[in-house]
C-alpha cells in the first residue's frame, strides 16, 4: 500500500484536474489512490522535511468519501470535472463533518460548524473530496497590526515552499496557497477581504481568482466584512482555477449578495479559456503603480508586457491614482457585527460567542494567544456594532466612489482597455473596496528564487474576460515551476 502511494506521489506533481480525470477514467488511478498519495505527500513534506505546515487538519472521512465516489464512477460515470478530486479548504470555511472550523484560533479549536458552508455543499455535490483544512493567518489577518502572514495560534507558522523560513508565504489564505504550490492537493479554496487570495497566489507561484463579491456565496464563511468578503480558488493552472470557480459560483437564498447575479454567473468558466485570448485585446497598465518596483521587479514586469504584446494585445498607459497607504477604517466597523453574528450561533460548548468574549479569552492565555497582540480586535470592539457612525458611513461611500467610479471604472472607460494589468497584487486594495474581480498568475522568479506574479483586474463580473486573458498569458509564458521540497536542498 505504502509503495503504491509513494509511486503515485511522483505522478501527482503538477498534475492537472484534466490529467487526473484521464487517469481515473482509464483505471490507472482511483480517487482513493489519489487521496492516499496526497496524505503521504503531506506527511513527507508538510509535517516533515521542509515542514511547510500548510495543512491544519485532515478529513478523517476522506478515504471513505473517495472510495464511494470511485464506486459511483464505475456505476454511473463521473458527475463532472471535480469527481474524486481532493480539495483543501481554508480553516475559516464551515464544514459539517469531523473537522473543526477555527479561523486558526485556539479559541475555536474545538468548534464544529453546525452546517456546511454553501460553497462546500456545492463542492460535495460536484463530487469533490474535502481533503482537509488549510492553515491560515489567524482571523484572516484581522487580529492585530504586526502578525506575520501565515501565523495562527492553533496551527503555527505556514512556510513558503520556495524558500521555507526565507520568503514571505503571503496571507491570509497562506496554507491554501502553499499547499497547492507544494502539490499537497489538486486545488484549494481561500477567502479574500483585501489581498488574501492574490497575495499567497503571487508569493507561492500559483493562480488565484478573487471573484466579484456575490459571485460565490459567503454563507458559512467566518466573516470580516459584508462588503468585501469572498471565497475563491487557488490552483496551479488557470484551467483548474476556472473549473473550481464554476463549482462554487451560484445564487444562495441565504446570501443576499448573490441574489441579483443569476444572469452573470456561469457553472462552467472553462468555456472562456482561449490560448489566443490576448489577440486584439487592449490591456491597460496603470503607470503610477510601477514607481515602487525595484530593478528586478521592473525587469520581470517589462518581460510580462513584452509577452502580452507578442500575444497580440495592445498595451495602453492608464491614468490612475497611485496606490495610497492603507488608511481605511471601514473594516474595523464592519467586523464587529459580522463576527458577533457568526460567533453567536456556535455551540454552547465553544468558549466564545462574541468579539468581547474573544478578546477576554485571548487575555486569559497571553503566552499562546497574544504573541503579536490583538490591537485590531480591540479597536473593532470599541465601535458600536451598528454601522451608524458618521466616519464609517462617509468613509465607505467615499471608498466605493474612489474605487469604482473614479478608480477602475474610470480607468477602463478613459483608456478603452479591456482589463488592467498590475505587478504583483498592487491592485488588491482598490479591487477589494470595489468588490471587483482579479486573477493572479505566475510571472517569474527573482535571482534568489522568490516567485513573482502579475494580476489581471477588471470591472464587476468580468471574470470571463479576465480568465481569457490570464489563460492566454499563462500559455505563452509557462513560467511556473514546482518548488524543490528535497530537504537536502533547503
In total, the chain counts a number of residues equal to 490
Q: Which three cell numbers stand for residue 251?
A: 445564487
Q: In the chain, which stretches have pLDDT less than 50?
A: 326, 488-490
CATH for 2-273 (3.90.1300.10, 3.40.640.10, 3.40.190.10, 3.10.20.90): 3.90.1300.10
- List the domain boundaries for the chain: 2-273
Return the closest-CA partner of residue 409 out of 394, 392, 431, 424: 431
Sign of the torsion angle spanned by Cα atoms 300, 304, 310, 314: negative
What is the number of other CB atoms lying within 10 angstroms of the CB of residue 259?
A: 11
pLDDT digits (tens, 9 = 90+) for 208-222: 999 999 999 999 999
Enter the pTM of the model: 0.97
- What sign does the dihedral 473-477-478-483 (CA atoms) show? negative
Q: Using CA atoms, how far apart are residues 120 and 115, in angstroms rounded to an integer?
A: 10
Q: Specify the pLDDT at position 486.
A: 84
Given this model, what pLDDT does residue 210 score? 98
Cα gap 30→230, rounded to integer Å: 32
Question: pLDDT at position 10, please?
Answer: 73
**Rounded to an integer, what is the distance from CA 368 to the centroid of its chain?**
27
- Catalytic residue ranges: 90, 172, 196
Q: Which three cell numbers stand for residue 468?
A: 481569457
- Rounded Cα gap, residues 33 and 296, in angstroms: 42
Q: How many CB atoms lie within 10 A of CB 167?
A: 18
Bridge partners, residue 211, by sequence: none
Q: How many CB atoms lie within 10 A of CB 374?
A: 22
Contacts for 428 with CB less than 8 Å, ≥ 6 apart: 194, 195, 198, 199, 210, 438, 455
Cis geometry, peptide bond prior to residue 132 (ω within 30 degrees of 0): no
3-state secondary structure (DSSP) of residue 250: coil
pLDDT, position 450: 97
Q: How far apart are CA 207 and CA 177, in angstroms?
A: 9
Nearest to 424 by CA among 392, 397, 455: 455
What is the phi-psi region of residue 113: left when phi exceeds 0, alpha when psi lies from -120 to 50, beta otherwise? beta
- Note the pLDDT tens digit of each residue in 339-395: 999 999 999 999 999 999 999 999 999 999 999 999 999 999 999 999 999 999 999
Centre a 10 Å sphere on the Cβ of residue 440 and count the other Cβ atoms it contains: 33
* CA 91 – CA 195 distance, rounded (Å): 17
Q: Is 61 exposed, middle or buried (0-12, 13-18, 19+ CB in 10 A)?
A: middle
- Give the SS3 label for residue 421: strand
Residue 261 is predicted with a pLDDT of: 81
Do 426 and 455 meet the contact criterion of CB atoms below 8 Å apart?
A: yes
Per-residue confidence (pLDDT) for residue 4, from 0 to 100:
64
pLDDT at 11: 72
CA distance 441 to 273: 14
Amino acid at each position: 500500500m505504502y509503495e503504491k502511494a509513494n509511486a503515485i506521489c511522483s505522478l501527482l506533481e503538477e498534475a492537472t484536474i484534466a490529467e487526473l480525470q484521464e487517469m481515473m477514467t482509464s483505471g490507472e488511478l482511483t480517487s482513493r489512490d489519489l487521496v492516499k498519495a496526497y496524505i503521504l505527500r503531506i506527511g513527507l513534506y508538510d509535517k516533515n522535511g521542509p515542514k511547510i505546515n500548510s495543512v491544519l487538519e485532515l478529513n478523517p472521512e476522506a478515504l471513505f468519501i473517495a472510495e464511494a465516489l470511485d464506486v459511483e464512477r464505475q456505476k454511473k460515470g463521473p458527475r463532472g470535472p471535480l469527481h474524486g478530486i481532493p480539495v483543501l479548504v481554508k480553516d475559516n470555511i464551515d464544514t459539517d463533518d469531523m473537522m473543526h472550523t477555527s479561523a486558526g484560533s485556539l479559541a475555536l479549536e474545538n468548534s464544529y460548524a453546525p452546517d456546511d458552508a454553501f460553497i462546500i455543499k456545492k463542492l460535495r455535490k460536484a463530487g469533490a473530496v474535502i481533503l482537509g483544512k488549510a492553515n491560515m493567518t489567524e482571523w484572516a489577518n484581522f487580529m492585530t497590526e504586526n502578525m506575520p502572514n501565515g501565523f495562527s495560534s492553533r496551527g503555527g507558522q505556514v512556510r513558503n515552499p520556495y524558500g521555507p523560513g526565507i520568503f514571505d508565504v503571503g496571507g491570509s489564505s497562506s496554507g491554501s496557497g502553499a499547499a497547492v504550490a507544494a502539490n499537497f492537493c489538486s486545488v484549494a479554496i481561500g477567502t479574500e477581504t483585501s489581498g488574501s487570495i492574490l497575495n499567497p497566489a503571487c508569493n507561492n507561484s500559483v493562480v488565484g481568482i478573487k471573484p466579484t463579491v456575490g459571485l460565490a456565496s459567503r454563507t458559512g464563511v467566518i466573516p470580516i466584512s459584508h462588503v468585501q468578503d469572498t471565497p475563491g480558488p487557488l490552483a496551479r493552472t488557470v484551467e483548474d482555477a476556472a473549473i473550481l470557480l464554476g463549482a462554487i459560483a451560484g445564487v444562495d437564498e441565504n446570501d443576499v449578495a448573490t441574489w441579483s447575479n443569476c444572469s452573470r454567473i456561469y457553472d462552467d468558466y472553462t468555456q472562456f479559456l482561449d490560448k489566443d485570448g490576448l489577440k486584439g485585446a487592449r490591456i491597460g497598465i496603470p503607470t503610477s503603480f510601477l514607481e515602487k518596483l525595484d530593478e528586478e521587479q521592473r525587469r520581470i514586469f517589462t518581460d510580462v508586457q513584452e509577452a502580452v504584446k507578442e500575444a497580440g494585445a495592445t498595451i495602453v498607459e492608464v491614468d490612475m491614482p497611485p496606490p495610497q497607504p492603507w488608511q481605511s477604517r471601514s473594516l474595523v466597523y464592519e467586523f464587529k457585527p459580522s463576527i458577533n453574528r457568526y460567533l453567536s450561533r456556535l455551540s454552547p460548548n465553544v468558549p466564545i460567542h462574541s468579539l468581547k468574549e474573544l478578546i477576554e479569552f485571548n487575555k486569559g492565555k497571553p503566552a499562546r494567544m497574544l504573541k503579536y497582540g490583538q490591537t485590531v480586535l480591540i479597536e473593532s470592539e470599541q465601535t458600536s456594532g451598528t454601522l451608524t457612525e458618521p466616519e464609517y458611513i462617509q468613509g465607505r461611500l467615499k471608498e466605493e466612489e474612489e474605487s469604482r467610479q473614479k478608480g477602475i471604472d474610470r480607468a477602463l472607460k478613459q483608456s478603452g482597455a479591456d482589463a488592467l494589468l498590475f505587478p504583483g497584487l498592487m491592485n488588491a486594495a482598490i479591487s477589494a473596496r470595489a468588490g471587483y474581480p482579479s486573477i493572479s498568475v505566475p510571472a517569474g522568479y527573482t535571482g534568489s528564487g522568490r516567485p513573482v506574479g502579475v494580476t489581471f483586474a477588471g470591472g464587476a463580473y468580468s471574470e470571463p474576460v479576465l480568465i481569457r486573458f490570464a489563460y492566454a498569458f499563462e500559455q505563452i509564458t509557462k513560467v511556473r515551476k514546482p518548488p524543490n521540497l528535497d530537504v537536502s536542498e533547503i
